[in-house]
Amino acid sequence: MIADSQKESLAELNLLAQSKRQSILIEGPSGSGKTYLSKQYANMLSIDDCSIVPPKVSDIREALDASLSLDNPLMLVIENLDLGTPAASYTLLKSLEEPLPNVYIIITCRNIQGVPDTIISRSAVVTLSPPTLNDIDSYGKEKNTVKFNAVSSRLAWHCARSFSDADSVLEMNPDEIEYYESLAEVCKFKESVSTIVWKLGHYPSGKESNLELAIRSVIELMHNNFVTRCGVDCIRDLNRNRIAQHAVLAKFVFNAKYCE
Amino acid sequence: MITIQELGLSIMSHSPKPFYAVGGSEYGIKDKYIDTLTQHYGKKEEYPSVSDCIDFLSVKHLIKVHPALYVIRYDENFVSSIDVETSRKIRSLRNIGTIFCVYSDPKHIAKLDKFIPEFTCSVDAVDFKYIEKYLHKDFPGLDDRSIKIAAKCSSNYGHARTICKSMINANPEILAKMPEDSIIKLFGCGTTSVESDIQKAIAGRNFVQAVNLIESYEGDFDSLIYTVLQTMIELEKILTSKYSESDLKDYVKFWKIEDIYHMFMNGYDQLEKLRSNTSTDVKSSLIYLFGLFTFKDVPSTEVMNSDC
């Protein structure tokens, strides 16, 4: 299924496929369908061999080395390059400059500012918008109508802002769906920061929760401009992945607890 | 280059060569060999340079010069001037005793090894069991526990020997009663600080102690910024729930909730700066954070980041 937010990017990829462009950088927020679009690009070029590669020097090098011994058309999707080290980006440079005739490299990133200019200048950049709420509803309905009907009125679904969030909610059990509403108790901030941080990061069963959904649930439940601002900063810092998750969450809780 | 075993064997078996150039960091072994050679010849003389010593030994003396040990320390001129002719002269030395040249710079030994490899040796780290063996031999009056402590204190035989010399002069009863850790600390060994010490210094708002502790900290400084954040979270927990059990309970009296909040935010701010600006030094960031303890009220990030 192609969402409205993806149509424009897909049209751009279509044009690039006509010229058989070998290096493309797809920029878009988390869960907006970057990897999905990469696979669509492989379909456009009739490439069956599509490998997803994490942004690590060793993995990229291994994938590039393996491509040398192959003759068939091959697509390497380097996921979230902005989360990798600069060395990971530089590993790709040579292959972007002088690509092998059968190798297509698609790079995805959440934040283009985290990608070196040398990579951007050697790639065709396609920007993907975040999905609209309608896109997410349509996606959920098509993926699992029964489950969608059961969760569409719940807080967890209302807080979903990406296709991966939607996938996550559709896979939750009733207790996990309930958990996001139960965060109202946490929002009273009677407990210590460390306890609240733990509760935001875990379901009562001890399994790790979807942090972004948990933060958005707190924002929804509190209806407070300051907490909303802190929550947005928290999600941004979580996505940047520069500072340890527990520290990012603790900052949010400290602010929400003591600054109002 | 000859090995340390070959060097030791020739000296200990009382069949020393006429010349040795010995380098490496293990000064204790060099001293030990000098002592053994002194005992062997019954006479030791210190010369300022190898050329002076060779000149003295090359001329004919009316009164016969008995073989002796000639010690020359750190003669760099000899290293820079050594050539085929000098090495030939050294090889032709007979019945003069032994010239023992001491060096520490590995470059000097590398140069000498090119011209006189059969006389050159580098004495570096010695195996733990050999240190113990040597110490037992050197200090027969010292008990096994003290020898083991000395060997544990240092991987350097010379250093361990100095420690043994001190222990043999100490009151054996007092020494026997002292715990091993205390003796090790007494000799300035094993004093690298650990994260829990630093956490206590942070919780105690002790700037001087915290700075001193990071000087002897060998771990990752980056993780210490997280230690600051973790300490604030822990202190907040103690303040919020009075029944919480923590090693930091005694330190909570130094903190108000506002100070904990601002300290956490300043720590987070420093982490963000470290992540976005590669020229920021982690150690400086830590000292900056520790400096905030000295304020009666910990300043906010807004105050600390303002221009005026």
* pLDDT mean by block of 10 residues, chain A; 260 residues: 77 90 90 88 90 90 86 90 85 84 91 88 90 90 92 94 92 95 91 94 94 94 92 91 92 89
Q: Where are the alpha helices (DSSP H) in chain A?
A: 4-18, 34-44, 57-68, 86-97, 117-120, 133-143, 145-151, 155-158, 163-170, 174-186, 193-201, 211-222, 225-240, 245-258
Return the closest-CA partner of residue A202 out of A233, A175, A237, A235. Answer: A175
Q: Is the pLDDT of residue B121 over 80?
A: yes
* pLDDT at residue number B277: 64
Q: How far is B307 from chain A (nearest CA, A)?
A: 23
Domain shared by A30 and A104, yes or no: yes
Range with the lowest mean pLDDT among A237-241, B39-43, B228-232? A237-241
Q: Confidence band (pLDDT; 50, 70, 90) for B181? A: confident
The reported pLDDT for the residue numbered A248 is 96
**In this predicted structure, what is the pLDDT of residue B190?**
64
In a shared domain, residues A51 and A93: yes
**Minimum CA–CA partner of B259 in chain A:** A258
Residues in chain A: 260
Pair (A123, A158) in one structural domain: no
Q: What is the pLDDT of residue A149?
A: 93
B233 to A250: CB separation less than 8 angstroms, yes or no: yes
Same domain? For A35 and A82 the reply is: yes
Query: Is the pLDDT confidence value at B115 over 60?
Result: yes
Distance spanning both ends of chain A, measured CA to CA? 44
CATH code at position A108: 3.40.50.300
Q: In angstroms, how far apart are the furthest CA atoms of chain B?
A: 94
Tens of pLDDT, residue by residue over B19-28, are 999 988 888 8
Minimum mean pLDDT range among A235-249, B35-49, B183-197, B280-294: B183-197
The reply to whether A80 and A172 lie within a common domain is: no
A186 in B contact zone (CB under 8 Å): no
- Listed in sequence order, the DSSP H helices in chain B are 4-12, 27-41, 50-58, 76-81, 84-91, 106-115, 128-138, 144-153, 157-168, 172-177, 180-186, 195-203, 207-215, 221-240, 257-276, 282-291, 301-305
The pTM of this model reads 0.63
Residue A78's Cβ-count burial label (10 Å; 0-12, 13-18, 19+) is buried
Q: Write down the residue that tokens 């999707």 correspond to.
A: A77
Q: Give yes or no: residues A213 and A171 share one domain.
A: yes
Q: Do residue A104 and residue A153 come from a single domain?
A: no
- The confidence band for B183, taking pLDDT boundaries of 50, 70 and 90, is confident
Tokens standing for residue A86: 């600069």
CB A193 to CB B233 under 8 A? yes
N-terminal to C-terminal alpha carbon distance within chain B: 65
Distance from CA of A23 to the nearest CA of B (A): 28
Same domain, A86 and A68: yes
Mean pLDDT computed over every residue of chain B = 87
Q: Write down the pLDDT at residue B261.
A: 95
Interchain contact B265–A (C-beta under 8 A)? yes
Question: Which one of A127, A162, A193 terminates a domain?
Answer: A127
With CB atoms and an 8 Å threshold, state whether A191 touches B240: yes
Cα angle, residue A56 at apex, residues A53 and A60 outer, rounded to 5°: 50
- Residue A206 Cα, gap to closest chain B Cα (Å): 21
Residues A96, A17 share a domain? yes
- Smallest CA–CA separation between A243 and chain B, in Å? 7
Which one-letter amino acid corresponds to residue A21? R
Closest by Cβ to B226, choosing from A192, A197, A244? A244
Are residues A150 and A123 part of one domain? Answer: no
Residues A146 and A84 in one domain: no
Average the pLDDT over each of A1-5, B7-11, B241-245 and give the range with the smallest value.
A1-5
Look at residue B63 in the predicted model and tell me its pLDDT: 80
pLDDT beyond 70 at B276:
yes
Residue with tokens 């085929």: B84
* Domain shared by A122 and A137, yes or no: no
Own/partner pairs, B138-143, CB within 8 angstroms, 24+ separation: B138/B32, B138/B164, B139/B164, B139/B165, B139/B168, B141/B168, B142/B167, B142/B168, B143/B172, B143/B176
Number of domains in chain A: 2
Would an 8 Å CB–CB cutoff place A251 in contact with chain B? Answer: yes
What residue numbers bound the domain in which A213 lies?
133-258
Q: Confidence class of residue B191 from pLDDT cuts 50, 70 and 90?
A: low
Could you say which of A72, A102, A127 is where a domain stops? Answer: A127
Contact of B226 with chain A, judged by CB distance below 8 Å, is answered with yes
Q: How many residues does chain B have?
A: 308
Q: Which of A95, A127, A159 is the last residue of a domain?
A: A127
